[in-house]
């Protein structure tokens, strides 16, 4: 039986501007870059769900980021 708390490794490629922005944000929050990415993804999943239902269609539209 697989341990639900076991972490999975996921290869991730980021452009330099996004990497630098995330690294600076992680440093500001006293987290590792990996920890910051995991934190942000967790928060996105929490915000996506509301009362057990997924919110709005527009959430799936990629934001226009200046990074």
pLDDT digits (tens, 9 = 90+) for 35-63: 999 999 988 888 777 656 666 666 666 66
Q: Report, in angstroms and rounded to the nearest whole number, the Rg of the chain calculated over CA atoms.
A: 15
CA distances from 4 to 7, 32, 42, 49, 63 (A): 8, 23, 16, 20, 31
Angstrom distance (rounded) from CA 65 to CA 67 = 6
CB 35 within 8 A of CB 10: no
pLDDT of res. 1: 54
């Amino acid at each position: 039986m697989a341990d639900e708390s076991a972490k999975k490794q996921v290869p991730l490629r980021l452009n330099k501007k996004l990497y630098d922005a995330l690294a600076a944000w992680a440093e500001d929050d006293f987290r590792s870059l990996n920890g910051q990415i995991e934190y942000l993804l967790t928060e996105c999943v929490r915000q996506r769900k509301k009362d057990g239902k997924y919110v709005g269609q527009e959430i799936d539209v990629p934001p226009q980021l200046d990074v």
